[in-house]
Amino acid sequence: MDKNNLEQITFGGGCFWCVESCFNMLKGVESAISGYSGGHKDQPTYEEVCTGETGHAEVVQITYDPSIISYEQLMDVFFFLHDPTQLNRQGNDIGTQYRSVIYYKDEAEKQKAIEAIKTSEASGRWPGTYVTELTQFEKFWPAEQYHQGYYNVNPTQPYCSAVVGPKIQKFKKHFGELGMLTADSE
């Protein structure tokens, strides 16, 4: 991986435990870090974000090498991992902190995100109209350390075994068949 060529993208697709775990398995992803973006409070805590009053979304910030994995491939994974037609929720996780959102850094990235939404919507993977927000990136606040790699440390936690685990297995099957996973993830 060319450390000088790395780029970042930040987006939210529901609970960050699943999204972060999956992105960390992809070839070309140096890191996926759980955190918060899009709100009005500096250095928010998980408890504060969970109230829905800070305006933040649970997000994952991905650092990747575009010579190995493209922005479009990352968007395909993003739309695979969550239902972008659900407003402010993913399954039983309800609240603005679980919204579908892509944070773009400039106009070119915004246009790529618009195209990715159109492509995914046209695929029919998720029936209905996408409600994914496009928002100018301002700040990323890393989540508390215990959230980083949460599923790997807590696979038997009830939410992880009931919700996150099955999503990860579906992800591994699909993207493993496409050859996109690191050797230690397959």
93 forms beta bridges with 90
Is 2 inside any structural domain? Answer: no
Query: In what order do the strands lie in the sheet containing 140-142?
Result: 133-136, 100-104, 7-13, 57-64, 29-37, 140-142
List per-residue pLDDT tens for the chain, 186 residues long.
667 899 999 999 999 998 999 999 999 999 999 999 999 999 999 999 999 999 999 999 999 999 999 999 999 999 999 999 999 999 889 999 999 999 999 999 999 999 999 999 999 999 999 999 999 999 999 999 999 999 999 999 999 999 999 999 999 999 999 999 998 887
Is 183 inside any structural domain? Answer: no
| Rounded-to-integer distance, Cα 56 and Cα 16, Å | 13
Is 146 inside any structural domain? Answer: yes
Is 123 inside any structural domain? Answer: yes
| Rounded-to-integer distance, Cα 181 and Cα 148, Å | 19
**Residues with active-site annotation:** 15
Looking at the structure of the chain, the number of domains it has is: 1
| pLDDT for residue 1 | 66
pTM of the model: 0.94
| pLDDT for residue 35 | 98
Is 184 inside any structural domain? Answer: no
Is 185 inside any structural domain? Answer: no
| pLDDT for residue 84 | 97
Domain carrying residue 156:
7-178
Is 1 inside any structural domain? Answer: no
Is 78 inside any structural domain? Answer: yes
For residue 18, the domain's CATH number is 3.30.1060.10
Taking residue 112's Cβ as centre, other Cβ atoms within 10 Å add up to 18
| pLDDT for residue 3 | 77
